Structure 1
Amino acid sequence: MSRVFVAGVGMIPFVKPGASEPYPAMARAAASQALDDAGVAYTAVQQSYVGYVYGDSTSGQKAVYQLGMTGIPVFNVNNNCSTGSTALFLARQAIESGAADCVLALGFEQMRPGALDNVFTDRPSPFEDFDRESDALVGMPELPLALRYFGGAGLAHMRKYGTPLEAFAQIRAKASRHAVRNPLALLRRELSVDEVMNSPALWPGVLTRLMACPPTCGAAAAVLVSESFAARHGLSTQVRIAAQAMTTDRPDSFESHDMMNLVGYGMSQRAAQAVYEQAGIGPEDLDVVELHDCFAQNELISYEALGLCPEGGAAAFIAAGDNSYGGRIVTNPSGGLLSKGHPLGATGLAQCYELTLQLRGRAEQRQVSDARLGLQHNLGLGGACVVTLYERQ
């Protein structure tokens, strides 16, 4: 099997719904950046995996046809919030298996304002079982689905471990401090813990408005290549995908009757463990992590699922500053979904963009000192989780 390298990455600034260009223009800009960064023309790309959640079938073709109509296979990918990393997973598989030597992974989203909701209401929802379990565990059916799921997971952690609401506010404040250094982030104003705590309550005592990520439009892309292709064309092999795993739900997502498992704690834990085993490392070896902080609550429980701290130890991990610069592991130096924004199809590839820059030593003001190993965690309800380990060569 071929080793897989990230030869080029691209990302455009994330913006609020209504402020973006149409999705083909966003996708073209991000993909063109990635191709230029890699130093290859689109004619060298042999396959394209294109991710988006809200869009008609073959929007992937519409996006890449702006780059050239070369007749290559174009795969449209939709895996909820893990869509971008699923496109990356498929691109990596294509190269590792020998099916292709140069592949484009592209993600974009042109979102509408407001909370996520079902689009097709005339057929069974993929969230029926999740809603049924949420009804039994936390109630609150009037809340938007993602807010109820992740708020419920945070509430479960609070009840199980005595985690204070302030711990989630500390995560959001940390995200804002990191985003100040990221010119591509949507929200770049530094917030205090008090500002987060005193923002409007979306679920009193459980979640405030500033603990939720904003709906966002944007695009990001990566060009993956095999070792032999890179050698033939003189491309960079500085950043390698050292290990990767994708998981979906098991029965314990429902049978455990635990809101944390319902939103992917178990999926995340299994994917991370598979990656650590593939690479022969442990979480203590990581230098930088980009994880799925769609809500501050999910960042906190993901610390434990990924093994960054012991189960029940997240509040102490946060209080010690071990999730930021000067601590044990810098998490979401980009500002994460909470500050950078969360255009669903682009999110996983935006994480790839950030970690690639970090391992190249090109992240400027937000550079993690001597970063060698970077972990990416991207989660989609319904569900799927992709964890990827990047290594500096």
Structure 2
Amino acid sequence: MTKTYGFDTLQIHAGARPDPATGARQVPIYQTTAYVFRDADHAAALFNLQEVGYIYSRLTNPTVAALGERIASLEGGVGAVCCSSGHAAQIMALFPLMGPGRNIIASTRLYGGTVTQFSQTIKRFGWSAKFVDFDDLDALAAAIDDDTRAIFCESIANPGGYVTDIRAVADVADKAGLPLIVDNTSATPYLCRPIDLGATLVVHSTTKYLTGNGTVTGGAIVDSGNFNWSASDKFPSLSTAEPAYHGLKFHETFGPLAFTFHSIAVGLRDLGMTMNPQGAHYTLLGIETLSLRMQRHVENARKVAEWLENDPRVDFVTYAGLPSSPYYERAQRVYPKGAGALFTFAVKGGYEACVKLVDSLELFSHVANLGDTRSLIIHSASTTHRQLSPEQQKAAGAAPNVVRLSIGIEDANDIIADLDQALSKATA
């Protein structure tokens, strides 16, 4: 579908044409491993990347492709590749860009699992990460060296709800000739479209708000189509001859879609981080109500944050939608529809009070997830950010006296009442 349609229309119709075989209006679940070729020439053309089509579901699947088209449309990208999880999406995003000895510059305000992936796991590939406070643009620029291949941040950071000034960071990336990768999981394209602000690639854990119901895991990488991969010799996977395809040059051949085609033809082919079609189906259904849910998420989050900020049992609240937040002005400018529904607050009484709070809640679910229709809570320092040092925990907004809330779409008064009774027990 064209980009002339509004967001509410695209979230329902993009990628969802009536099935040509049956006329089915909803996207069918194509639960198949392989696809029959018309003839030998058709098969050869597909394997040579001379024709677009379906070969094997590790690479492409019609249900998954429909989801990719929908997410790309909502984000304003030229293409998207869906994969098995948000963590898989991050590795898939870096895979065509990196090589042994290369590094990325990453924000200090990231999900704890991402910090671990970047600080520990990617070392096994010979890659490394430098962590920088992205509020200090001079420090960000200074951290870039000849081996830097990408800059990475979250639009609204997990867990603290910190909001990134994407345009300012994109300007630094552009000056250095580097792609900016933005994790837009917490904001979703309803609250923020990073590509419009200068991002090269957008990654998602589709597990969260896009699906919205806590049923399946998934990830996506959206390609802006705006980066010139041949402007320097930094990205040979995209700009130089690919041996596995008889010398084909992805950027020369596919232009704006070079990254998308490489991620399918090489990334999914060799890494195998494939999304299953049933999972894609659940996410397609979830996206149909994304704007409606996000409006309610934001409305509830604002009410709950305001109540918590005025409660004497609470030390502070990090929600950027509050006028007291140091990021309030930025949030109004970059995220005019709202600062999301993810934030933290500090409980008077420290670590022990946080544990009691979590155990005393009745409506909230204590889970390692976010972006559900249900309100969720977790004590990040003892769970999702447990692997980090105390200094890293504090920098990420996950100090021991802090709990993270993902505010759902229940009645806001019920959410507040549950927090009220649990705080009474936790701070008695």
TM class by shorter chain equals under 0.3
Q: Which has the higher contact order (CA 8 A, sep 6+)?
A: 1
Instruction: Choose between structure 1 and 2: higher strand proportion.
Output: 1
Q: Which has the larger radius of gyration?
A: 2
Normalised by the length of structure 2, the TM-score is 0.23
